[in-house]
Structure 1
Amino acid sequence: MTARAPPANRKLSNMLMADFKQCLTLYEKKEYAEAIKRADHILTQKPDHGETLAVKGLCRYHQDSPVEGRSLINAGMKNDPESYIIWHVLALLERSEKNYHAALKAYQKSLTIDPSNQNVLRDLSLMQIQTREYEPLVITRRKQLTDKPEIRANWTGLAVALFLKGDYATAARTLAAYEESAPEKEPKDKTQSDDIENCELALFRNKCLIEAKEYDLALKDLEELENKTSKRHIPDQQSILEHRCDIYIRQGKTKDAQRLTRVLLRRNPHDRALYRQLEKVLGIQDNNQLKSVMYKKLAQKYPRSDCPRSMPLEFLEGQAFDEAADAYVSTLIHRRVPSAFMNVKHLYKNPAKALSIGAIAQRIFDGATEDLSGASDFLWSACFLAQHFSKLGDQNKALKFIDNAIEHTPTLVELHLTRAKILKRMGAVNKGAEAANAARELDLQDRYLNTKAAKYTLRANNADDIEQAIKLISMFTRNDTSGTGVQDLHDMQGYWFLSELARRQRRNGDGPLALKRHKAALNVFSEFEHEQLDFHLYALRKGTMNAYIDMLQWEDKLYKSKKFIRSTRGIIETYIALWDTKPDCGCGAVIPGSFPLKAVDYNASTTVKKKKKKKTNEGSAEAKQNPNGLPTPEHRHDADPEGLKLVKNVDLLETALVHAKKLAEVGDSLGLVFQAEIYLRQNKYMLALQSLNKLKASDAASPYASVLAKVAEAQLNGDDSTAQNLKDMTLKMLPKLFNETESDAVATARLAFSVPSYKELAGELLKGLVSENATAAALAVWAANSLGLELEDLAKEQYPELEVPLPN
């Protein structure tokens, strides 16, 4: 088949072709202004040269002119749609905008035009692994290897692709073939870096053999690795031992596995996973008596390790537990270990164990008060008891103990932090913030104390808390660009501060600003996803395949993390609540954990405020100075300081629905709840019914399937705009979801909005919620307030220190 002749407008003279190549070189060096000058020189003589237009467009895009840049690339594509360079440029543009699937298609089109282009092959493989398309990735990497077999990264790249695809045996053979064909360096020419890379490559090959269940080959492989490096230092002896032990466990060679597990324990007696592994290979994981004997011997062998003393507390019961807990907790308190309570906190799931631990600390405390020489025992046992009673829910008693400890030694920061936590659990969030700040003031150079004080300040209810928290956190940020630490925390991916700030703005009732902060918190996860792109080539070049595989597996679980789910819930709930505040929405509802929002003026403009802010900044010379007295450089402009662009001319429910679907995809049942809530507001009853059926199937314990089904029934009965046949069909299917025993207070409060007869029941359940703890009481007060019920007096009666933020 004859190749298609290039279009006439693609041809350039030798001189212009030299300019075009120079233009490409300047772009790669990021000298965009010079590249554009060269491009303009070509375009004066060949204005319809598509490739030059495309390269100029890419340069303009990187000069912060994205609209003009894309326009120029589109013009170049129109002039020469069969140029692989233009398709490559388009792929680079889409990649820069993080449209990875669009970039993938553009790379594939470029490759069909020029199948042997190594640059396109390399970039295509990056997009395939970024989008987790492992089958085509193997084909691309194999093509790279065929074209350039002398490059080591092409061999390891193909092996990694095969491993990710699940073809472990072929991956191992690929790496073995490379080692056989690669020229061996003379010993005198080898460096430590070569040893590390070779060992890493061998360990990755061994990992492939293990996953392929070729255990004998894997053991032989490890022996060869040790023989090769017997005369030199083995760079990663720990991994070799771990691989060998893993093989023995998989083969069922228990004696060999026991021997190596004990070797690993000698190397690191503080690794709890190794103790669990020893239980497994000894076959005693279900025999508490034998485990107790094993841990006693290990405690004698490793006296400095905490694990063999603390781990038996998890399975011992009765008198055996009391004796072991007495020895362990007493030692921690006598040694004045600040984290003593944190070491045993997980045992409080068992009430009997919690009481036993408390009795031990109480005995030490009582003995210390009688003997003044035991002042340190008095202090640390009082601190321990304060945390003990706080964990059990007796905050008043906990507060007495911690106050006694602070009176004894007022300069110990751990005591003030413990007091802050107790006050927070009592609902006294303002006093909790004061206690956290008191801890910070004891050591002004401690960043941890600073962040704790900032977090507690954001959780308080004072009017100036946000400004105070920003002032606190700014003490430990650079502040050389924006004057405060907020922008620095965006750059530093400070998720904890952004998420706390979002929740505070939400409690303040400022929906748009809460959305802006929630979005910034979620952007941290997007940045984690995008930043892995930098490592796809780096890991192959440096030969760090094992760490690279671990990173990819971590990235695959990124969106299932509790932090991502929490922030996504927050942004969905805020979008829905904003829609409910619109005067024409026609409904209102309690979303789980919601707070009342202020009405938003969707016609408001921020122009006046921007001018006022600009005038203030121009009139203040100090605002232009950083703490070092140096002039502050111009920072990137915040075009939406109040978050109004996130709500103006935006379909709030559809935007929320995108996040709700993402939440459901990662397995959070509340994503289906939010989907149903959104569909009900859109009068899409069949879609709401589908979400509720999925919810009931995935989480039978959720009360929201029944609640929202009853909400849908009430809404349908009063809806005259829906076709009668659709109403009848939906009403017939809804009762299958009904459950007459609603046990969740907030869910029942949601139902009371649409079915007034449930208001009394919701009120009773919310009263019960008040008695659980201070946090639950605050939530009950907010939900009751939305229903027009009064629970604040009851909450204050049970929790006198409770400070509940209510709408103005």
Structure 2
Amino acid sequence: MPNVQLPPKESNLFKRILKCYEQKQYKNGLKFCKLILSNPKFAEHGETLAMKGLTLNCLGKKEEAYEFVRKGLRNDVKSHCLPQSEERGHIQMRDLEGYRETRYQLLQLRPTQRASWIGYAIAYHLLKDYDMALKLLEEFRQTQQIPPNKIDYEYSELILYQNQVMREADLFQESLEHIETYEKQICDKLLVEEIKGEMLLKLGRLKEASEVFKNLIDRNAENWCYYEGLEKALQLSTLEERLQIYEEISKQHPRAISPRRLPLNLVPGEKFRELMDKFLRVNFSKGCPPLFTTLKSLYYNTEKISIIQELVTNYEASLKTCDFFSPYENGETEPPTTLLWVQYFLAQHFDKLGQYSLALDYINAAIASTPTLIELFYMKAKIYKHIGNLREAAKWMDEAQSLDTADRFINSKCAKYMLRANMIKEAEEMCSKFTREGTSAMENLNEMQCMWFQTECISAYQRLGRYGDALKKCHEVERHFFEITDDQFDFHTYCMRKMTLRAYVDLLRLEDILRRHAFYFKAARSAIEIYLKLYDNPLTNESKQQEINSENLSAKELKKMLSKQRRAQKKAKLEEEKKHVERERQQKNQKKKRDEEEEETSGLKEELIPEKLERIENPLEEAIKFLIPLKNLVADNIDTHLLAFEIYFRKGKFLLMLQSVKRAFAINRNNPWLHECLIKFSKSVSNHSNLPDVVSRVLSQEMQKIFVNKDLESFNEDFLKHNATSLQHLLSGAKMMYFLDKSRQEKAIAIATRLDETIKDKNVKVVCWSLLSPKKKLLLQSSPNLNRKLQPALPAVHKCPGSGLSPVQWLCFLNQRPRLNLINHIKNCEWL
């Protein structure tokens, strides 16, 4: 039934089908399709059959969908519905060639619609055929009847998009002329000036560019990019010239911070002291909480750090005695708050330098004088976090939160600190103050795609050994990214109608690299680590495991253990009952909601059950699903390739193992984890003599380039020798020493526990990593003087006021809590 005109009733139904399809109301769309197709006169209506096929495809019924689409095409080859839906499918899947072809078909079918022209131009733009894209855009622009003196937003966006294509094509002169020609018809005047400045710089018209950047600075004196552009335009060659420019701008904008802050990046020595002295005094007198954040980027320079420390400590001493910044000053005294902000700054300063005892002294003094300032308690919590006492950090962050319960930022920070301390229930209760009533905070945060909370939950569950719960959160994060990718489907037609073309192209480019985001990387890395753990140590029957653990216990210890187990079982049972009731309630609500709305979007999602997730049959295959996006998008991170190696090592894929270590080697050949992978890989290759000749030859040639005619023992000894001052490298070398030769256990332990003055990376995290096993206790028996040995390694711990813990006690405390997995690729050190 080709090209049949539907009567008004059926035509209205067909319009509703299209609307339901766009709004993802697929169930209703199928109902309207049925109403049209049930009429014998229109049972073979091609467009309706095609729309039914497209709707079924969205519901996952692909075979049935293909049948209806083919039938619809047979009955109406010239239908416009299929090309329109097809072009959205092409751009969604980034099939740019197919997108261009379908856009051309739509342009032929509907040449008077602007979306047809714009879509066709965008197709060429994305294919980087800039000349054709510009020709199409110019042809379309000439059809727009917009008076020169009228400002129309959609026309303005078209001009700016046209200019963006010119800049990407490196047509700088054309871009400048274009923006000057249509300047009066563009709404975004700031962007016009920024484009002018950029193009004038590219064209070498420096005098004109300098005037543009001066005008931009007059509009916003806090934008550092404008200062950078001005310096390039003026071609300032000496430090004096650069300082003079900043001084002039500072006089013109006395309230601006940037013209006084930026010179601090440039000057050294006494000139730095002079400028820093002025800068600090003004900000301390005004009371500027983010002052340290403003100056933190200077802390790469030890000379500047020393000058800042000397200045501020002198301020503090003088303010305590005479209320002046210097005892030699006269005039109006400083207010009491000045001393408060000086002490707050010093606490941040010494925290940054790792001198936690001094940092706590200053922050406690500030709290004693002003116990109602949130920033002080926030900083105290931060110091304890850096020390490693996460429960104390959570306690002080909770104190800060209690001072202003309406502050969502502090609420979120408090929840984050609680999760870092493995206080998951408390963190959920904290977040519940800002989530929807009637639902659990965990559920609501998942609905809101609150991924900072979920990634922190993943780490907490992973540290606690609750792998099922951790994997559930990992899959929830993965679903969020899938939904974000899927949601762009709605914008393919919307942006054409609203002419938000620059934002649309930016969206497409963002979606292409979406899984580069840190949240996805954290979730994927944790998921891979957990699946590797479950592959190496599949979960066993809990009661059987308890029997094994109780064999070597005394009667008293056994009684204590059984009592603890009973309490844990009772608690777990109560929690499970609570979860079951909550799950039933949620399921009822979801069913009711589905019945009321009478729509389906993509079918019911599979429920994520922790018990099933942690007892998966093929953990390595699940790990690979998380690995693939990392290999495609985060190839510049060495952890991606080392995680890939760990998976392929367990699967026995030698060529893929080689690929992984080669890519990691190209990023950082001195990485300690890579060193372990290389030795394990070489050892595994030598143990498999039945490899195909071609594979064996390739492996030998490539490994020869890495090991350079050295045997594994020599390679490991050289690694230890060249990294003798790094505890992390020493640990990896010691582990491989024992891996290669079990008789060298004592020497390996001695290397891993070496804590003399030459070690540079001594801190709580690394010391715990080297001295504690994930499964066993401290090596106290083998090192009777360990407490004395640890004193220089952990000065911040045993000197902290109120800690009351020796280094060994502190490490024991950390050993009782799952703080050991802070370094994500920690391995089981069986020799510990």
The answer for the alignment partner of 2:469 in structure 1 is 513
Higher relative contact order (CA 8 A, sep 6+): 2
When structure 1 is superposed on structure 2, of 738-747 and 304-313 the one drifting more is 738-747
Contact 1:770–1:795 at 8 Å: present in 2 too?
A: no
The answer to whether the 8 A contact 1:579-1:653 is kept is yes
1:614 and 1:638 mapped to 2: Cα distance?
Answer: 19
**Given residue 395 of structure 2, which amino acid in structure 1 is its aligned partner?**
E
Aligned residue for 2:375?
414
Conserved 8 A contact 1:515-1:646: yes
> Structure 2 vs 1, CA of residues 486 and 618 (structure 1 numbering), >3 Å: closer, same or farther?
closer
Q: Give the drift of 1:436.
A: 0.2
- The residue number in structure 1 matching 2:829 is none
Contact 1:169 1:208 in 2 (8 A): no
Deviation at 1:17, TM superposition (A): 8.4
* Long gaps (5+) in structure 1: 86-109, 585-606, 625-630
CA contact (8 A) 2:90 2:99 kept: yes
Partner SS, residue 494 of structure 2: helix
Counterpart for residue 101 of structure 1: none
Cα distance in structure 2, aligned partners of 1:379 and 1:36: 69
CA offset digits 1:438-457 (Å, max 9, x no partner): 00000011001101111111
Tell me, in whole angstroms, the C-alpha distance in 2 between the residues paired with 1:125 and 1:118.
11
The question of whether the paired residues in 1 share the 8 Å contact of 2:472 and 2:610 is answered with yes
Q: CA deviation digits over 1:337-368, x for unaligned, max 9? A: 01111111111111111121111211111111
Paired position in structure 2 for 1:478: 436
Please, which of 765, 768, 776 is the counterpart of residue 775 of structure 1? 765
Could you say if the C-alpha distance between residues 54 and 294 of structure 1 is closer, same or farther in structure 2, counting changes exceeding 3 Å?
A: closer
1:329 offset after TM fit, Å?
2.0
After TM superposition, list the pairs within 5 Å mapping 1:76-95 onto structure 2.
77=66, 82-84=70-72
Which residue pairs with 1:764 in the alignment? 751
Give the distance between the partners of 2:7 and 2:418, measured in 1 at CA.
68
Alignment correspondent of 1:644? 611
Structure 1 match to 2:276 = 325
Distance 1:475-1:648 versus aligned 2 partners, 3 A rule: same
The Cα shift of 1:122 comes to: 2.5
Instruction: Indicate the larger mover: 560-569 or 334-343.
Output: 560-569
Distance 1:13 1:562, change over 3 A: closer
Which amino acid letter does the alignment assign opposite residue 128 of structure 1?
A: H
Deviation at 1:213, TM superposition (A): 3.7
Residue 378 (structure 1) aligned with residue 339 (structure 2): yes
In the aligned structure 2, how far is the partner of 1:328 from the partner of 1:15?
Answer: 75
Measured at CA, do residues 378 and 511 of structure 1 come closer, stay the same or move farther in structure 2, by a change above 3 Å? same
Relative distance call for 1:690 and 1:170 in structure 2 (3 A) is: closer
In the superposition, relative to structure 1, how do residues 572 and 789 fare at CA in structure 2: closer, same or farther (>3 Å)? farther
For residues 706-754 of structure 1, give each alpha carbon's deviation from its aligned partner in whole angstroms, at most 9, with x where no partner exists.
3222223444566698789977985786454344314424544653673
Rounded Cα–Cα distance in structure 1 between residues aligned with 2:338 and 2:55: 69
Distance 1:31 1:528 in 2: 19
SS across alignment from 1:275: helix
User: Displacement, 1:37?
Assistant: 8.3
The equivalent of 1:199 in structure 2 is 156
Q: Secondary structure at the match of 1:445?
A: coil
1:472 to partner: Cα distance: 0.3
Moved more, 758-767 or 274-283: 758-767
Bigger drift between 415-424 and 304-313 goes to 304-313
176-185 vs 236-245, greater mean Cα deviation: 176-185
Which of 807, 814, 822 matches 1:804? Answer: 814
AA aligned opposite 1:741: F
1:694 and 2:663 equivalent?
Answer: yes
Aligned residue runs from structure 1 range 630-709, under 5 A: 642-665=609-632, 666-667=634-635, 668-709=637-678
Counterpart Cα distance in 1 of 2:16 and 2:579: 40
Query: Structure 1 341/280 Cα, relative in aligned 2: closer, same or farther at 3 Å?
Result: same
Q: CA offsets per residue over residues 520-548 of structure 1, 9 Å max, x none?
A: 23433333333222222222211122222
- Give the unaligned 5+ runs of structure 2: 324-333, 541-571, 595-603, 708-714, 724-728, 804-809, 819-832
2:420 aligned partner: 459
Give the letter for the 2:612 counterpart. Answer: K
Contact 1:421 1:432 in 2 (8 A): yes
Q: Which amino acid aligns with 1:82?
A: R
**TM-aligned CA distance change 1:221 to 1:749, over 3 Å:** same
Residues 31 and 632 (structure 1), Cα distance of their counterparts in 2 relative to 1, 3 Å cut: closer
- TM-score normalised to structure 1 length: 0.79
User: What is the match of residue 139 of structure 2?
Assistant: 177
CA distance in 1, matches of 2:56, 2:738: 54
Partner of 2:510: 554
Cα contact 1:389–1:398 (8 A) shared by 2: yes
Q: 1:241, 1:764 → 2: CA distance?
A: 61
1:396 aligns with 2:357: yes
Is the CA contact (8 Å cut-off) linking 2:528 and 2:626 kept in structure 1? yes
CA contact (8 A) 1:43 1:49 kept: no
Per the TM alignment, residue 49 of structure 1 is displaced from its structure 2 partner at its CA by 8.1
- String of CA shifts for 1:301-359, please: whole Å, max 9, x gaps: 22122111111212211111111111112222221101111111111111111121111
Equivalent pair of 2:752/2:771 in contact (CA under 8 Å): no
Asked whether the equivalents of residues 53 and 75 of structure 1 are also in contact (C-alpha less than 8 Å), the reply is no
Q: Any idea what SS the aligned residue of 1:303 has?
A: coil
Equivalence map 1:257-296=2 (5 Å): 257-284=209-236, 287-296=238-247
Shift of 1:407: 0.6
Deviations 1:632-669 (A, max 9, x none): 99689997565233343441112223333432322222
Contact 1:454 1:470 in 2 (8 A): yes
Query: How many positions carry a matched residue from both structures?
Result: 720
Which piece of structure 1 moves more, 690-699 or 418-427? 690-699
CA deviations 1:221-269 (Å, max 9, x no partner) are 333314x64xxxx522112222222221111111111111111111111
Distance change >3 Å, CA 657–CA 783, structure 1 → 2: farther
CA-to-partner distance for each residue in 1:572-621, whole Å, 9 max, x for gaps?
Answer: 1121122121279xxxxxxxxxxxxxxxxxxxxxx9999944775699xx
Query: Partners in 2 of 1:307 and 1:26 — Cα distance?
Result: 52
Mapping of residues 246-645 of structure 1, within 5 Å? 246-284=198-236, 287-371=238-322, 374-461=335-422, 465-480=423-438, 483-582=439-538, 612-613=577-578, 616=581, 642-645=609-612
**Distance verdict in 2 for CA 1:53–1:16, change over 3 Å:** farther
TM normalised by structure 2 equals 0.77
SS at match of 2:210: helix
Give the corresponding residue for 1:235. Answer: 187
Q: Distance in 2 between matches of 1:54 and 1:135?
A: 23
Q: CA 1:766–1:351 in structure 2 vs 1: closer, same or farther (change >3 Å)?
A: farther
8 Å contact kept, 1:175–1:205: yes
1:155 matched to 2:117: yes
- Asked if the contact 2:54–2:65 (Cα under 8 Å) also holds between the matched residues in 1, the reply is no
Distance in 1 separating the partners of 2:347 and 2:407: 24
| Counterparts in 2 of 1:719 and 1:391: CA distance versus 1, 3 Å | same
Q: Which amino acid aligns with 2:426?
A: Q
For 2:277 and 2:317, the matched residues in 1 are separated by 15
Does structure 1 conserve the Cα–Cα contact (< 8 Å) formed by 2:397 and 2:414? yes
AA aligned to 2:425 is: E
- Give the CA deviation at 1:152: 1.7
Change in CA separation of 1:169 and 1:641 when aligned onto 2, cut-off 3 Å: closer
For residues 784 and 540 of structure 1, the distance between their equivalents in structure 2, rounded to whole angstroms, comes to 56
CA contact (8 A) 1:661 1:671 kept: no
Structure 1 residue 696 displacement after superposition? 1.7
CA distance in 2, matches of 1:380, 1:13: 76
CA distance in 2, matches of 1:302, 1:535: 43
Query: d(CA) in 2 for partners of 1:577 and 1:385?
Result: 44
Q: CA RMSD in A?
A: 4.1
Cα distance in 2 for residues equivalent to 1:729 and 1:214: 47
Which amino acid is 2:108 matched to? T
